A and B are shown apart, each in its own frame.
Chain A
Amino acid sequence: MKGMLVVLQNDVGDILPSRGFLIVVIIIGVITLGTAVGVPIALNSWLASGLAWEEAKPLLELFMGLAINYVPLIVLFSCMATWATDPIAKEKAKGPIESLLATPLTAKAVWIGKSLAIFLPAYIIGFIATLIVILAMNLASILPTTGHFVLPLPEAFTSFLFLPLLMFALILLGVIFSLITNPVIGQTIIIFVGVLLLQVVGQVGGRLWWLLASWDYALYNLAGAAFIGMIAFYLSRSLSKERIILSSKGKWA
Chain B
Amino acid sequence: MSDAIRFEDISKQLGEREVLRNANFVTKQGDVFGYLGPNGAGKTTTIRILLGLLQPTSGKATILGEDVSRDEARRKIGFVLESDGLYDNKTAEENLWYYAQIYGMTEPAERIDRILSRVELRDRAKDKVGTYSKGMRQRLALARAMTHNPELLVLDEPTAGVDPSGQIEVREVILNMAHKEGRTIFLSSHNLDEVQRICNRIALIDRGEIKLCGEVEQLRREMSGNVVEIETTQLMAEPLFAELKSLSHLGLRERKDKTLTFVLQEGTRIPDIVSLLVRRGVEIEGVSKKEASLEEIYSAILKEVEPS
Contacts and interface: CB of A to CB of B under 8 A. Distances in A.
Given A96-B87, A246-B14, A102 B102 contact: no
A96 B51 CA distance: 14
A242 B55 CA distance: 7
Contact of A103 (B55, B74, B88, B89): B74
Nearest to B51: A102
Nearest to B70: A104
A237 interface: no
B102 A3 contact: yes
A10 B81 CA distance: 21
A200 to B, nearest CB: 37
A98 B85 contact: yes
Interface in B60-88: 71-72, 74-75, 77, 79, 81-88
B54 interface: yes
Contacts of B82: 95
B81 A2 contact: no
A102 B14 contact: no
B295 to A, nearest CB: 30
A94 B83 contact: yes
Contacts of B88: 94
Nearest to A244: B53
Contacts of B102: 3, 6, 100, 103-105
A9 B97 CA distance: 12
A246 B85 CA distance: 16
Contacts of A240: 55
B89 A14 contact: yes
A245 interface: yes
A2 B83 CA distance: 26
A96 B53 contact: no
B278 to A, nearest CB: 62
A93 B60 CA distance: 30
A99 interface: yes
A106 B72 CA distance: 12
B103 interface: yes
A4 to B, nearest CB: 11
Contacts of B99: 103
Contact of B103 (A9, A97, A103, A242): A103
A14 to B, nearest CB: 7
Interface string A99-129: 1111111100000000000000000000000
Contact of A102 (B81, B89, B98, B101): B81
Given A10-B98, A242-B55, A245-B48, A99 B85 contact: yes
Interface string A1-43: 0110010011000100000000000000000000000000000
Given A104-B75, A245-B53, A6 B101 contact: yes
A96 B86 contact: yes
A10 B97 CA distance: 10
Interface residues of B, number: 29
Contacts of B108: none
Interface string A27-61: 00000000000000000000000000000000000
Which of A95, A99, A242, A246 has the most C-beta atoms of chain B within 10 angstroms of its own C-beta? A99
Contacts of B98: 6, 10
Nearest to B49: A242
Given A241-B52, A242-B53, A245-B53, A102 B79 contact: yes
A101 B84 contact: no
A102 B83 contact: no
Which of A2, A96, A245 has the most C-beta atoms of chain B within 10 angstroms of its own C-beta? A96
A95 B89 contact: no
A95 B48 contact: no
B103 A98 contact: no
B53 A102 contact: yes
Nearest to B88: A94
B38 interface: no
A239 to B, nearest CB: 14
B104 interface: yes
Which of B87, B89, B99 has the most C-beta atoms of chain A within 10 angstroms of its own C-beta? B87
Contacts of B81: 95, 98-99, 102
Interface in A155-196: none
Contact of A242 (B54, B71, B75, B86): B54
A96 B101 contact: no
Contacts of B53: 98, 101-102, 241-242, 245
B203 to A, nearest CB: 21
B26 to A, nearest CB: 22
Nearest to B15: A246
30 contacts: A3-B102, A6-B98, A10-B101, A14-B89, A14-B90, A94-B88, A95-B84, A96-B85, A98-B53, A98-B81, A98-B83, A98-B85, A99-B79, A99-B85, A99-B86, A100-B85, A100-B102, A102-B52, A103-B74, A103-B103, A104-B74, A104-B75, A104-B102, A105-B102, A106-B71, A240-B55, A242-B55, A245-B48, A245-B53, A246-B14
Interface of A: 2-3, 6, 9-10, 14, 94-106, 240-242, 245-246
Give the 3 A-B CB pairs with smallest separation, nearest first. A99-B85, A95-B83, A102-B51
